[in-house]
């Protein structure tokens, strides 16, 4: 037992060196003004520009992760129920790959397909006479980032939902049918309620992932959209607007957002009925 705990030491050391110590560094420098302890930087973050940035980032992350979670659920549900095992394996493998396909390569891929002179944009224009640019689609703006975020959030959602969806018992569905209920009633009364905790948990992780996306959004949109990670990037990377203290304060605020959304995940996991143990009696708990 004791020895077992010792095995976690390397992980704790890793966390300490690469997460906890840097976080404290950020915290202390965000609180250090010219004359010691100061909340100046935090006061600065409560201005209209940063308020807008938080609002845009939240809205972009929320809409894209909600849609990704819904899509992910539908795909995972279909995957579990199909009898085509080859397709099942291909899509699962593809999802793991695509969930990690972000950053510069993803941005380049998107520019090549959906940019103003991207293949797909031109194809739609010439052959289907659909001008997505004229319709307001812009890779360097909200709409473009939304689509780009979906491309890695959806496969991530599939991977996150798959274990929960595959632990739905087939008997629940069959019992529903013998009791007179339809497939949709099964979805509404059993499948969705039972999966709700893992959906919320997944949503928390997707939101955190979207909120902290930096390279992809920076490469696609740069300064043309007001996102928290991009602003932080400007302040700590030493361009025009280098301001370490302010960047640290914004980072701390972002960490709070991430912490809250990830805690949704942990809270939801504990609420899940899927992992309620079988064979436990009421008074034995």
Partner 1 sequence: MLTIHQLNKRFDHLQAVKDFNLVMQPGEFVTLLGPSGSGKTTVLRMVAGLESPTSGSIHLGDVDVTHLTPQKRNIGLVFQSYALFPNMSAYENIAFPLHVRKQDKHTIQKRVNELLALIGLTNRKDHLPHQLSGGERQRVALARALSFHPPLLLLDEPLSALDAKVRQSLRITLKEIQRTLGVTTLMVTHDQEEALELSDRIVVMAKGAVEQVGTAMDIYYAPQTAFTEGFIGETNPITAEVLDVIASPIGEKIYNLRWHHHVFSWLADRHIEPQGTSITIGIRPESFHFLPVGGHGSIEATIVDKLFFGSVTRFIVKLPDHTTVKVDAMSAISQQYPIGAKVGLLITDPRLPIGFVDEAVTMTANPS
Binding site for partner 1 (CB under 8 A): 169, 171-172, 174-175, 177-182, 185, 189-190, 193-194, 273-274, 276-282, 285
Query: Shortest approach of partner 1 to residue 160 CB, angstroms?
Result: 20
Q: Which is nearer to partner 1, 119 or 273 (CB)?
A: 273
Query: Shortest approach of partner 1 to residue 278 CB, angstroms?
Result: 7
d(CA 121, CA 131): 7
Q: Phi, psi at residue 157, to the nearest 5°? A: -60, -40
Q: Give the closest residue to 158 by CA, choosing from 79, 90, 252.
A: 79
Q: Which is nearer to partner 1, 43 or 275 (CB)?
A: 275
Count of C-beta atoms within a 10 Å radius of residue 192: 12
Q: Which is nearer to partner 1, 193 or 238 (CB)?
A: 193
Q: Which is nearer to partner 1, 112 or 273 (CB)?
A: 273
Query: Shortest approach of partner 1 to residue 279 CB, angstroms?
Result: 6
Count of C-beta atoms within a 10 Å radius of residue 107: 20
Q: Which is nearer to partner 1, 133 or 274 (CB)?
A: 274
Q: Which is nearer to partner 1, 80 or 236 (CB)?
A: 80
Query: Shortest approach of partner 1 to residue 191 CB, angstroms?
Result: 10
Query: Shortest approach of partner 1 to residue 175 CB, angstroms?
Result: 4
List Cβ neighbours of 150 (8 Å cut-off, separation of 6 or more): 64, 67, 68, 71
CA gyration radius, the chain:
23
Query: Shortest approach of partner 1 to residue 171 CB, angstroms?
Result: 4
Dihedral sign (CA 8, 14, 17, 22): negative
Contact 29, 248 (CB under 8 A): yes
Q: Which is nearer to partner 1, 35 or 280 (CB)?
A: 280
For residue 202, what are the CA distances in angstroms to 49, 77, 235, 262? 30, 15, 31, 9
Count of C-beta atoms within a 10 Å radius of residue 53: 20
d(CA 139, CA 122): 14
Contact 214, 230 (CB under 8 A): yes
Q: Give the closest residue to 55 by CA, choosing from 247, 231, 264, 239.
A: 231
Query: Shortest approach of partner 1 to residue 196 CB, angstroms?
Result: 9
């Amino acid at each position: 037992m004791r020895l077992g705990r010792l095995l976690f030491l390397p992980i704790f050391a890793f966390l300490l060196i690469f997460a906890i110590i840097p976080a404290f560094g950020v915290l202390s420098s965000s609180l250090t003004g010219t004359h010691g302890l100061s909340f100046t930087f935090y006061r600065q973050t409560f201005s209209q520009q940063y308020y807008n940035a938080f609002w845009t980032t939240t809205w972009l992350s929320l809409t894209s992760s909600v849609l990704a979670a819904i899509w992910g659920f539908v795909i995972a549900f279909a995957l579990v129920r199909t009898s085509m095992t080859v397709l099942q394996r291909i899509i699962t493998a593809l999802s793991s790959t695509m969930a990690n396909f972000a950053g510069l390569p993803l941005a380049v891929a998107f520019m090549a397909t959906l940019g103003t002179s991207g293949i797909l944009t031109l194809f739609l224009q010439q052959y289907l006479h659909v001008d997505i640019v004229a319709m307001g689609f812009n890779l360097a703006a909200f709409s473009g980032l939304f689509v780009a975020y979906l491309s890695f959030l959806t496969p991530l959602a599939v991977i996150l939902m798959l274990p929960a969806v595959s632990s739905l018992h087939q008997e629940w569905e069959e019992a529903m049918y013998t009791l007179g209920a339809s497939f949709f009633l099964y979805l509404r009364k059993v499948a969705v309620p039972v999966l709700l905790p893992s959906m919320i948990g997944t949503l928390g992780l997707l939101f955190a992932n979207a909120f902290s996306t930096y390279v992809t959004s920076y490469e696609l949109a740069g300064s043309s959209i007001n996102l928290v990670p991009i602003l932080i990037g400007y302040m700590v990377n030493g361009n025009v607007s280098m301001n370490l203290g302010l960047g640290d304060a914004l980072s701390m605020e972002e960490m709070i957002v991430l912490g809250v959304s990830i805690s949704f995940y942990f809270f939801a996991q504990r609420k899940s009925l899927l992992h309620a143990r079988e064979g436990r009696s009421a008074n034995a708990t």
